[in-house]
């Protein structure tokens, strides 16, 4: 898999975890544990951000502001962000996830499942 693609997926997971920590179910954790987890997640996030090319990270943040997420899976040839069928002929099966791609309809970063 493309390295930047791997980083974007990890970044997306961390952003989801950071969001989940604000959920009421995490109230039981206690303030200190919660703050520590947030700090750990933000540290990991920073490491990923620093290893990503700046233009890719900026685009990820633009997409996140627009859609609430910067990357989406393609399942059964369908983009899970805009639900448009992807033109499968563009990329051969072996090429999938070998390069960073965006959805031709909504522009979100995509990975093939
Ligand atoms: Zn799309």
Tell me the average pLDDT across 93-113: 90
52-97: pLDDT as tens digits: 999 999 999 999 999 999 999 999 899 999 999 987 655 566 678 9
CA dist 69 and 104 (Å) reads: 16
Asked if 4 contacts 48 with a C-beta cutoff of 8 angstroms, the reply is no
- CA–centroid distance, 46 to ligand 1, in Å, is 27
Residue 15 has pLDDT above 90, yes or no: yes
Stretch (H or E) spanning 103: none
Mean pLDDT, the chain, as a whole number?
91
Tell me the average pLDDT across 43-47: 98
**Given this model, what pLDDT does residue 90 score?**
58
3-112, CATH topology level:
Helix Hairpins (1.10.287)
- CA–centroid distance, 49 to ligand 1, in Å, is 23
- CA–centroid distance, 71 to ligand 1, in Å, is 10
**Given this model, what pLDDT does residue 22 score?**
84
For residue 75, which of 61, 88, 64 has the smallest C-alpha distance? 88
For residue 72, which of 19, 13, 20, 2 has the smallest C-alpha distance? 13
Taking the domains of the chain in order of start, what are their residue ranges? 3-112
- CA–centroid distance, 107 to ligand 1, in Å, is 6
3-state secondary structure of 97: coil
- CA–centroid distance, 11 to ligand 1, in Å, is 19
Question: pTM to 2 decimals?
Answer: 0.88
Asked if 64 contacts 70 with a C-beta cutoff of 8 angstroms, the reply is yes
The values of phi and psi at residue 35, to 5°, are -65, -35
- CA–centroid distance, 53 to ligand 1, in Å, is 22
Q: What percent of the chain lies above the pLDDT cut of 70?
A: 94
**Given this model, what pLDDT does residue 31 score?**
86
3-state secondary structure of 111: strand
């Amino acid at each position: 898999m493309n390295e930047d693609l791997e980083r974007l997926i990890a970044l997306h997971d961390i952003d989801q975890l950071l969001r989940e920590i604000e959920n009421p179910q995490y109230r039981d954790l206690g303030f200190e544990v919660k703050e520590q987890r947030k700090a750990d997640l933000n540290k990991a996030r920073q490491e990923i951000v620093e290893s990503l090319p700046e233009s890719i990270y900026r685009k990820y943040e633009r997409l996140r502001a627009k859609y609430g997420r910067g990357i989406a899976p393609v399942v059964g040839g369908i983009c899970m962000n805009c639900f448009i069928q992807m033109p499968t002929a563009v990329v051969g099966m072996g090429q999938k996830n070998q390069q960073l791609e965006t959805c031709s309809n909504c522009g979100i970063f995509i990975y093939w499942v």
